[in-house]
Structure formats: C-alpha cells, structure tokens
C-alpha cells in the first residue's frame, strides 16, 4: 500500500518531459518494423560475406596459389585488410573515451555508432590473421600455452603482442559499448512489448535509474574511458610494431607508432562519416546530428590528416637525408616504381583532399563530406597497401624482388568483410539504440 502524490507541475517542466519523450521516440524509430528494402540490403551485405567465405573455403582446399600472395610479398592483402580494419576501429574508442575525458560535448551524437563500428571492425580485423594462416584450424597456436616440449610462445615477438593487444581491445571495446548502452536498453525495454520487452529487460539487467545505479554508472564510465584511452594508443602502436620491429626498409622506423595511431583515427573518423551521413538522412536525425556536429568532426579529420601528411613527408625526407641506401631506394621505388599510382592516390586522398575542409562551405556540405569520407577510406586502405606490399616486394636483394598482382580471390576476401561490416551495422541500427539517448536527453532542459 502506498500513497502517491503527483504534484502540480509547471508548464515548463511538463514540456521537459515531452521533449525527453520526443528524443526517445525519434531515436528509437529505427527499431520499428523495417521495410523490405532494409532486408534486401542486409541480405546483399551478408551475401558478399558468404561469397568471400566460399572463396576462402576453396582457397583452404586448393592452396594459397589461388590468391596473389606469394614470395616475397607473403603478407600482402591479408595484413593490409587486418591493419585497415584495426584502424577503422580506433575512432570509436577515441570518440567515446578520449573525447569523454576531454569533455567534448559533440561526441555524444557519434559515440554509439562509433562504438558499434569499433566492435564490428575489430571482429573483421581478427578474421584476417586467421585466414592468412592457410591452416586456420591451427589458430590456437597463437595463444599462450606451452607445447608438449614445454616451450612457450615468444613474448618478445610483436605478433604475440598483437594477439594480446587486439584481443584486449576487442573485449574492452565490447564492455565499453555494452555498459554505455545499459540505460538506453532500459528505455528500449520501456517502449517494447512482448518478447522484445523481456529480451531488452534481460539486456538492461533490470536498470531502473536509481540514485545508487547512477552513482556507480557514472564512475564506471569514467574509469572505462580512462582505461580505454591509453589502450587506443597502445593497440595501433603494437600493430605498427609488427612492421617497425623488423629490419625491412620502409618499415624499420621509429615514427611508425604515432603515424599509425593518427592514421587510424583519421580513417575511423572517415568511416564514421560514411556511416552516419546516410543514417542521419534515412532516420531523419537532422535535429540531433547537426551541421555543427559534423563541423567539429571535420576539424578532427583535418588535424589527423595533417599528422598523416607530415609523417609521409618525414619518412621520405629522412630516407633521403639518411645514409641508408636501401631506405632511399625503397622510397624512390614507392614514389616512381611499380606501385606509384597507389602511392600518389594515397597522398591525394589522405593529404590533399582533406585540405578542402579548410573551406567552411565545403565543411558544411553534406554531399561533399560523404564523397570525402569515401576518398579517405580508399586512401587509408591504399596507405596500408603501400606500406605492406612495396616494402616486401623490394627489399635488400634485387634477386629477391617481386611484383604483387592480386587475383579475384584477393578482391573477394577483401570485399567479404565490407559486406560483414555493413551488414552488422544495419543489424545494429535495427536492434539496438543507435544513438546515446540518455546523453542527448541530458542536454534537454
């Protein structure tokens, strides 16, 4: 038995409730029953994935010869794709963790999508080292356990660091994604009916928004952000050390870690634009994701683009200034040899095209931002291609040189994960709150 007293409220306060209800409805609109076009898009995306997996199956059966991967460019497409997807993952944690610590308010319009993107793209990245094994059923060799002769994996190897870094990253970014979503899942539960209400109830862990829950929730978000921020920097540094710890010209450089981290954030922000621009249009979120929010994201893109441009310039400058003839020969080859088109396209997409963002009019033009985001994605994929393939193709000994020609299998295994990525993102938009509802509501006064 309880006594309920609903106090007479002012009209301003009543409007506040209406405004918050409106935010819920506007953002949860994507969770309504979608049209057939949505399912066609999901099937098409997963169709590419299935096709790629079929190609992979055939490759396991017949051998690596089906792809262009051979001596001396043994890493080629797989590691290009691996680094590309790990890079894409980075902006998610940057936007949600580092910008949270910096109290950059604009982050709350992008953080949920970016975190979803992080989780999906780490999954995409994780597939490639396994596909690259040739005998993927032996992938457990990567994990730390002793062999029958009591020898352990080598903890001095960058590849072992990679296993630790990427799996930590996957777990921590999933935790971050999920914990951040708990209050929003409770909102979804409130609006859902039937079985869906029960599922969202379980996912929201019975969240009610009590003072005790909020107290610990705010703290856990802060601590996870504080842990995830150095993790972002460390993971791509470790990925860069996969290259930089070797002695190969073009790879053996101390600039690699900061250069890779900046590049990762740059490519990730590009991918956020690619995903958010159509999403904003389809779900009519113009009220929530405004031009001003894009403007701020563009400034981040400009900043990281300039770091990347500086790193390109510095690499070439140091190769020419230094005394290592192999390094100089390699950079001459990169800029003027077999792979020169990839190199100059990379420079155009990553350093020259983003310069247009200095013009306010272009920064505020959504169609241009979409085109630019595609250029950035292409440019950053090419960057990894240039780094991995050119250095392996032209090392110290001309007798050992080669020229990598991708086959249809290389293309198939690359497109496969684009299908997986976009398909999973479409599922995310349908089944989970696609924007941080609670954080948007905090701004409603």
CA 63/CA 320 separation, integer angstroms: 41
Binding mask 116-145 for another protein (x = CB under 8 A): ----------------------------x-
Q: Is 1 in the site for another protein (CB under 8 A)?
A: yes
Minimal distance in Å, beta carbon 297 to another protein? Answer: 24
Q: Which stretch binds another protein (CB under 8 A): 65-73, 206-214, 285-293, 307-315?
A: 206-214
Minimal distance in Å, beta carbon 404 to another protein? Answer: 29
Minimal distance in Å, beta carbon 255 to another protein? Answer: 18
Nearer to another protein by C-beta: 102 or 223? 223
Minimal distance in Å, beta carbon 433 to another protein? Answer: 14
Q: Which stretch binds another protein (CB under 8 A): 223-231, 251-259, 372-380, 423-431?
A: 223-231
Q: Is 146 in the site for another protein (CB under 8 A)?
A: yes
Task: Give the gyration radius of the chain's Cα atoms.
Answer: 24
Footprint of another protein on 159-178 (CB under 8 A): 160-161, 164-165, 168, 171-172, 175-176
Query: Quick one: tokens of 13?
Result: 């306060």
Footprint of another protein on 233-262 (CB under 8 A): 234, 238
Q: Is 231 in the site for another protein (CB under 8 A)?
A: yes
**92 with 268: CB under 8 angstroms?**
yes
Nearer to another protein by C-beta: 146 or 398? 146
DSSP letter string over 340-399? HHHHHHHHIIIIIGGGGGGSHHHHT-HHHHHHHHHHHHHHHHHHHHIIIIIHHHS-S-GG
Query: Quick one: tokens of 241?
Result: 């050390």
CA 105/CA 339 separation, integer angstroms: 42
Classify residue 284 by its DSSP letter: T
DSSP letter string over 238-255? HHHHHHHTS--TTT--TT
Minimal distance in Å, beta carbon 54 to another protein? Answer: 35
The set of residues, in sequence order, having a beta carbon less than 8 Å from that of 407 and lying 6+ positions away, is 66, 67, 68
Q: Is 227 in the site for another protein (CB under 8 A)?
A: yes
């Amino acid at each position: 038995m309880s006594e309920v007293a609903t106090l007479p409220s002012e009209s301003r306060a009543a409007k506040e409730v209406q405004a918050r209800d409106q935010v819920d409805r506007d953002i949860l609109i994507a969770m309504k029953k979608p049209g057939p076009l949505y399912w066609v898009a999901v099937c098409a995306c997963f169709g590419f994935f299935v096709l790629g997996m079929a190609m992979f199956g055939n490759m396991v059966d017949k051998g690596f010869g089906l792809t262009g991967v051979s001596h001396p460019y043994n890493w080629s497409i797989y590691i290009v794709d691996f680094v590309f997807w790990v890079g894409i993952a980075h902006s998610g944690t940057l936007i949600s963790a580092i910008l949270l610590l910096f109290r950059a308010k604009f982050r709350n319009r992008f953080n949920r999508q970016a975190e979803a993107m992080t989780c999906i793209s780490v999954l995409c990245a994780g597939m490639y080292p396994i596909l690259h094994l040739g005998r993927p059923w032996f992938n457990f060799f990567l994990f730390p356990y002793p062999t029958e002769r009591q020898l352990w994996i080598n903890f001095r190897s960058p590849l072992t660091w990679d296993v630790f870094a990427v799996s930590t990253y996957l777990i921590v970014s999933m935790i971050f994604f999920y914990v951040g979503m708990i209050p929003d899942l409770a909102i979804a539960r409130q609006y859902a009916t039937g079985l869906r209400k029960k599922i969202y109830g379980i996912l929201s862990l019975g969240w009610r928004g009590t003072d005790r829950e909020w107290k610990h929730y705010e703290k856990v978000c802060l601590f996870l952000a504080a842990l995830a921020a150095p993790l972002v920097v460390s993971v791509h540094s470790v990925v860069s050390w996969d290259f930089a710890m070797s002695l190969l010209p073009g790879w053996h450089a101390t600039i690699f870690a900061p250069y890779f981290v900046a590049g990762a954030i740059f490519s990730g922000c590009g991918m956020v634009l690619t995903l958010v621009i159509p999403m904003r249009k389809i779900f009519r979120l113009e009220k929530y994701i405004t031009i001003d929010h894009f403007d701020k994201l563009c400034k981040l893109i400009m900043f990281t683009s300039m770091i990347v441009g500086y790193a390109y310039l510095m690499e070439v400058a140091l190769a020419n200034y230094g005394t290592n003839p192999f390094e100089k020969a390699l950079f001459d080859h990169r800029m003027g040899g077999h792979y020169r088109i990839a190199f100059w396209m990379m420079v155009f997409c990553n350093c020259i095209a983003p310069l247009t963002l200095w013009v306010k009019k272009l920064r505020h033009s959504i169609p241009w931002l979409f085109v630019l985001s595609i250029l950035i994605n292409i440019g950053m994929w090419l960057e990894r291609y240039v780094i991995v393939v050119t250095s392996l193709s032209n090392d110290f000994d001309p007798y050992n040189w080669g020229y990598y020609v991708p086959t249809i299998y290389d293309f198939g295994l690359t497109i496969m994960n684009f299908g997986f990525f976009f398909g999973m993102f479409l599922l995310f938009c349908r089944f989970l709150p696609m924007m941080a509802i609670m954080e948007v509501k905090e701004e409603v006064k």
